[in-house]
């Protein structure tokens, strides 16, 4: 990311040069704006999603500040902490949280209707081991999640960004996986799933290139029977005749 202030040496440039140089720097700076893995869709909020956002936000949404999260303070206990990035409508995340009361979960999502939906599910089911960030996960990981603090990270059906010119928007890239890995405790997991074969192959390549990550299914192999609940996006893929590819890696820190 390069949002650094523009500085040009005013003394060494003619007025005309200065203006073209400034334009060029401005253009370059605009091009260096962080490339997001999402676009905020104008999706309409249902009445119950809106009510849930109004009513339950204070109880279950962690406000994004540049402060590190203190999970013990948030959950009132010490337990393995799992982060899910891009939970969509959140049904499968809520199901996992209810099925694993010994773990704590943080869901990160930018899509407000999904956040409203999950808030409702949390409140109706009185789920105590799940909280939400409604913000870009890249920034949450960078600013709020301590290194070596997570038992796992799960990213189910991240936006595939089908067109080649948009592939750089895909979340799963070497630099991002490195950042994820830095957040894991030794033995922690990264669980990915996609219904897009090209992205699945890209994921495998990226994950395999990281020497600290171990494919639990064996080299070049997809994971099967992971036991995770089906997600909404996955159901849509099934209807369209898509396949599903899961990858589960564990983090083994290099020996000194
Ligand atoms: C294709 S949907 C899949 C949703 C859900 N996991 C499912 O399987 O039904 C991808 C989701 O990731 C969210 N997303 C993408 N990039 C994100 C980011 N950087 N931070 C938070 N959420 C993100 C999008 O808003 C979208 O809801």
Nearest-CA residue for ligand 1 atom 12 is 86
Q: What pLDDT, in 10s, does the model give residues 21-78?
A: 344 444 444 556 788 999 887 778 999 999 999 999 999 999 988 899 999 999 999 9
Question: What is the Cα–Cα distance from 69 to 143, expressed in whole angstroms?
Answer: 9
DSSP code at position 222:
-
Q: Give Cα separations from 103 to 4, 84, 96, 251 (angstroms).
A: 40, 13, 9, 18
Q: What is the mean pLDDT of residues 75-99?
A: 98
Q: Specify the ligand 1 atom closest to the Cα of 108.
A: 21
pLDDT of the residue at 22: 40
In the annotation, is 147 catalytic?
Answer: no
Which ligand 1 atom sits nearest the alpha carbon of residue 40?
Answer: 25
Share of the chain above pLDDT 70, in %: 88
pLDDT for 254 = 77
Ligand 1 centroid from CA 171, angstroms: 10
Pair 124, 162: CB distance under 8 Å: no
Binding site annotation covers 159?
yes
Q: Which two tokens stand for residue 131?
A: 């909280």
Section 163-175 average pLDDT: 94
According to the annotation, is 195 in a ligand binding site? yes
pLDDT band at 144 (very low <50, low <70, confident <90, very high): very high
Mean pLDDT, range 146-172, rounded to an integer: 95
Mean predicted lDDT score pLDDT of the chain:
88
CA atoms of 3 and 30, how far apart (whole Å): 8
Q: Which residue stretches of the chain are H helix?
A: 15-31, 47-60, 71-75, 91-99, 112-125, 137-144, 174-183, 197-208, 232-239
What's the rounded Cα separation, in Å, for the pair 83 and 69? 12
Residue 138 makes CB contacts below 8 A (sequence gap 6+) with 34, 36, 37, 171, 176, 179
Name which residue sits closest to atom 1 of ligand 1, judged by CA. 159
pTM: 0.88
The answer to whether the CB of 116 is under 6 A from ligand 1 is no
> Contact, 188 vs 54, CB < 8 A?
no
Ligand 1 centroid – CA 216 distance (Å): 24
Separation CA 49–CA 31 (nearest Å)? 35
CA of 223 to the centre of ligand 1 (A): 21
Domain ranges of the chain: 48-251
Q: Is the pLDDT of residue 124 over 50?
A: yes
Q: What CATH number was assigned to the domain covering residues 48-251?
A: 3.40.50.150
User: Which pLDDT belongs to residue 31?
Assistant: 55
| Average pLDDT of the residues in 72-92 | 98
Give the pLDDT of residue 226.
Answer: 93
Q: Kindly name the residue from 9, 91, 147, 159 that is annotated as catalytic.
A: 159
109 is in an annotated binding site: yes
Residue indicated by tokens 């105590």: 128
Classify 191 as helix, strand or coil: strand
User: What counts of helices (H) and strands (E) characterise the chain?
Assistant: 9, 7
Average pLDDT over residues 130-157: 98
Write b or e for each residue in 149-179: b if 16 or more Cβ atoms lie within 10 A of its Cβ, otherwise e: ebbbbbbbbbbbbeeeeeeebbbbbeebbee
Tell me how far CA of residue 195 lies from CA of 74, 115, 157, 220, in angstroms.
34, 23, 7, 17
């Amino acid at each position: 990311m390069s949002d650094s202030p523009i500085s040009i040496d005013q003394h060494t440039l003619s007025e005309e040069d200065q203006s073209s140089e400034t334009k060029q720097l401005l253009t370059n700076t605009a091009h260096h704006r962080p490339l997001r893995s999402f676009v905020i869709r104008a999706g309409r909020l249902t009445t119950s999603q809106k009510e849930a956002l109004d009513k339950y936000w204070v109880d279950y949404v962690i406000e994004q500040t540049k402060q590190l999260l203190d999970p013990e303070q948030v959950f009132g206990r010490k337990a393995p902490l799992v982060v899910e990035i891009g939970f969509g409508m959140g049904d499968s995340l809520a199901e996992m949280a209810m099925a694993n009361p010994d773990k704590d979960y943080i869901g990160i999502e930018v899509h407000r209707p999904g956040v409203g939906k999950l808030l409702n599910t949390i409140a109706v089911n009185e789920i105590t081991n799940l909280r939400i960030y409604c913000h870009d996960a890249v920034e949450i990981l960078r600013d709020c999640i301590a290194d070596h603090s997570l038992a796992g990270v799960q990213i189910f059906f991240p936006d595939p960004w089908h067109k080649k010119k948009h592939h750089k928007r895909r979340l799963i890239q070497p630099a991002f996986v490195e950042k994820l890995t830095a957040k894991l405790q030794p033995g922690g997991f990264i669980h990915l799933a996609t219904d897009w074969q090209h992205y699945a192959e890209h994921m495998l390549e990226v994950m395999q290139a990281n020497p600290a990550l171990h494919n639990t299914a064996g080299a070049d192999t997809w994971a099967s029977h992971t036991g995770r609940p089906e997600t909404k996006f996955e159901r849509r893929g099934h209807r369209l005749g898509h396949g599903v590819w899961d990858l589960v890696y564990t983090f083994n820190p290099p020996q000194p």
